Amino acid sequence: MFLPHAAFAAVVSDADIRAILADRIDAQHQGVGIVVGVIDPTGRRVVAYGKTAKDGKPVDANTVFEIGSVTKVFTSLLLADMVNRGEVALTDPVSKFLPPNVKMPERGGKKITLVDLATHTSGLPRLPSNFNPKDPANPYADYTVTQLYEFLATVQLTRDIGSKYEYSNLGGGLLGHALARRAGTDYETLVRTRILQPLAMKSTAITLSKAMKDRLAIGHDAALQPVSNWDLPTLAGAGALRSTANDLLTFVGANLGLQTSPLASSMASMLATRRPTSVPGLDIALGWHISTRNEHEIIWHNGGTGGYRTWIGFDPKSRTGIVVLSNTSTAAGVDDIGAHLLDPAIPLIQPPKQRHEVKIDPAVLDRYAGRYELAPTFVITVTRDGDHVFAQATGQPNFEIFAEDDRNFFYKVVDAQITFVVDATGRATSLVLHQNGANVPGKRIE
């Protein structure tokens, strides 16, 4: 028999949480620093383990992290608040808030609306096809509004608007862009004046103050090497915010009604709009994901950038909220920690299988270099540099892959593998990406 959710929230100790974090960092080597925050009707507490950098100071409740796609919850709250103010309607077409000369895609005579963007059901892809970063370590930095408008004018939707959930960073960024245009300001100013200032979240921003810079944790990749911070000037609403455990606990607490907030009605309305996903027991609300297990709901969102992982969530029944922040972008992530602390029936993930690298003849490696299309907007580019092979997916950094044998390679930064399919001459004709239980083929296109 599982403990009731509320009972578990009452008995989980700081020592229990610290043991989880120590195992993740010291035993599994899946992090540099992790901070966990817990909030419920009795108050808040924070447990931290690790450092801001390998030789840095300890992380704590006020350490600043990139929160990635958790930003989308703030963007959707802006939408809900602007609806409550009568400034927009959920069913307004996005085109209403873009310049008159910008053409938005349509399908079947239907236009993409604001609610379609907030629920990832617009039919827009995860990323635009003209997303080709000059610096893979900071991939969104040079994507411009002009490029965004050019893509919208040419994209052909492959499914009916509102018919199917497909997670879209493009859609989240476009929603923030449209709302800021409606308000006559920029996204950062809008989120600051409408959300951050009313909630007194003084350590949440896109542009960091000197004090926040001093408290910023260094991001790391899965090999625990320092990486660049991300900038998202055009698609800010998709993932540009930086924050702390203390500030995010304030945000989650406001969503739980644990404090008086002028945004209370807007926060409640975010959960009223729900659309299904293809995952059983998972719905999408305005910004929030809703997981249902044994008729019990957990409201959550995660986030990740090149060097950080974030998870925030809450249990409305026990009125308990959890925040988890890590300054390492690993396969393990922190989603399981947050979900497990809210529902102990959700297990912590096991560390990935240990794989062993072998050396391969560079002449063999040359036969694998090329571009492989796994989807119309998702291509993996394989290159060789000496004895090293790299695989770069669309919109992602260029990661080295390591040979287990002549045809099977593995990533160290994520729990994923690539198998090359070859012809009679040994030249690769396609590859298969193995990740999260899926085996996705990609045909060589050049």
The pLDDT tens digits for 38-76 are 999 999 999 999 999 999 999 999 999 999 999 999 999
**Angle at which helices 169-183 and 145-154 cross, to 10°:** 110
Contact 307, 329 (CB under 8 A): yes
Q: What pLDDT score was predicted for residue 11? A: 52
Domains of the chain: 9-342 (3.40.710.10), 362-444 (2.40.128.50)
Q: What pLDDT score was predicted for residue 412? A: 83
Q: What pLDDT score was predicted for residue 177? A: 99
Quick check: 187 pLDDT over 80?
A: yes
Q: What pLDDT score was predicted for residue 5? A: 37
Phi first, then psi: give them for residue 218, nearest 5 degrees: -75, 130
39 to 253, 257, 292, 344: CA distances (angstroms) = 7, 11, 21, 17
The pLDDT tens digits for 430-440 are 999 998 778 99
Average pLDDT, integer, range 276-295: 94
Question: Residue 239 is encoded by which pair of tokens?
Answer: 């993932």
CA 47 – CA 307 distance, rounded (Å): 21
User: DSSP H helical segments within 31-185, as ranges?
Assistant: 71-84, 114-118, 145-154, 169-183
Q: What pLDDT score was predicted for residue 229? A: 98
Helix (H, G, I), strand (E, B) or coil at 42: coil
The pLDDT tens digits for 137-169 are 999 999 999 999 999 999 999 999 999 999 999
Beta strand pairing call for 106-107 and 65-66 = unpaired
Single-letter amino acid, residue 170: L
The pLDDT tens digits for 197-228 are 999 999 999 999 999 999 999 999 988 999 99
Single-letter amino acid, residue 438: A
Quick check: 248 pLDDT over 90?
A: yes
Q: What pLDDT score was predicted for residue 223? A: 86
pTM: predicted TM-score of the whole model, two decimal places: 0.84
Q: What pLDDT score was predicted for residue 99? A: 98
Question: Residue 163 is encoded by which pair of tokens?
Answer: 């018919």
Kindly report which listed range (27-31, 313-317, 348-352, 380-384) carries the lowest average pLDDT score: 348-352
Round the average pLDDT of the chain to a whole number and report it.
94
Q: What pLDDT score was predicted for residue 106? A: 97
Q: What pLDDT score was predicted for residue 413? A: 78
Confidence category of residue 94, pLDDT binned at 50, 70, 90: very high
Contact 370, 389 (CB under 8 A): no
The pLDDT > 70 percentage for the chain reads: 98
Burial class (CB in 10 A: 0-12, 13-18, 19+), 66: buried
Quick check: 6 pLDDT over 90?
A: no
Q: What pLDDT score was predicted for residue 9? A: 44
Please say whether the dihedral angle defined by the alpha carbons of residues 188, 194, 197 and 202, taken in this order, is positive or negative: negative
For the chain, the distance separating the N- and C-terminal CA atoms, rounded to the nearest angstrom, is 56
Distance of CA 305 to the CA centre of its chain: 7
Quick check: 371 pLDDT over 80?
A: yes
Phi first, then psi: give them for residue 411, nearest 5 degrees: -85, 150
The pLDDT > 90 percentage for the chain reads: 86
Quick check: 173 pLDDT over 90?
A: yes
